[in-house]
Every structure is written in structure tokens, then in C-alpha cells.
Amino acid sequence: MLKGVPAILSPELLKIMMEMGHGDELAIGDGNFPAASMAQRLVRCDGHDVPTLLDAVLRFFPLDTFVDAPVALMQVVPGDDTKPAIWDTYRRIVEERSPQAAGIEFVERFAFYDRAREAYAIVATGESALYANIILKKGVVVDA
């Protein structure tokens, strides 16, 4: 244990976040996301929800300020009338933790899968909300 580090961030996840460089992507999947079959590196966070994990990750993980949208969400499949309320929670967390890099894009389901396959790592969660998958593009750490 370390002081000030949220317990939800495992040593494995912290190591992966430290290894990642500018432009690398971290995908966080909900409980339905096929993380194990897609991941180059898989981190299990079973039993945890995405908003709590996202908030903890963004305390330490800089988002890329050189792109318009360093955050990607999976679009609702055409014909599905789901309205993901969790997206408002994500937007609030991103704006609070990274106000200078708060752009969010919506990516078609299979394009999102392709992008997740290329991510540096995928975090599998127990999130039960639908369309709760998110990809974060890492930026640079700038000490003020």
C-alpha cells in the first residue's frame, strides 16, 4: 500500500500506466466487453464499476492534449434505444480530472473493438451498465 493511491488501483494497473507512453491507449471494458479475447495485456478489476476506476485512473493518468478527443466511447448500436446515463458520469469525471483534455468521441461498435485490440492494455471490470466501455489516450506529464 502507498499513501494517497486509491486501493482500486492494483499494482499491476499502476505498473501498466507507468509503462505507457504518449499516445498509448488504455481501454476499460464493462462486464460484457470481450476483454480477455482482445487484450495484449489484461488487467482484471472484477467487482468494480467503471466510474470509480476511471476517477482513480485519471488522478495519475494524463490525457492527450494534442488530439481533439483523448476519450472514446462505444456508440449505441443502430436500432438499440439504450440511452447510456453513465456517459454523463464519465463526462463529469473527465472534465473534473482533465479539464484541458475533455474531448470525447463516439466510435462505432466494431471500430471500437478494433481500437481496443490495439490498446496497450484492457482493464476488465464488473460494470453492469450497457455501453460503459471507454478508451483513454495517454498524454504527457508536464510538471508546473
Identity at 55, one-letter amino acid code? D
Q: What is the C-alpha end-to-end distance of the chain, expressed in Å? A: 27
Residues 6+ positions from 144 with CB-CB distance below 8 Å: none
Query: Which of 71, 73, 139 lies closest to 102, judged by CA?
Result: 71
Helices (H), the chain: 11-19, 35-38, 50-57, 86-97, 109-118
| Cell numbers linked to 100 | 484541458
DSSP state of 99: G
Identity at 89, one-letter amino acid code? T
Contact 14, 5 (CB under 8 A): yes
Length of the chain: 144
Catalytic residue among 22, 37, 118, 126: 22
22 in active site: yes
Positions annotated as catalytic residues are 22
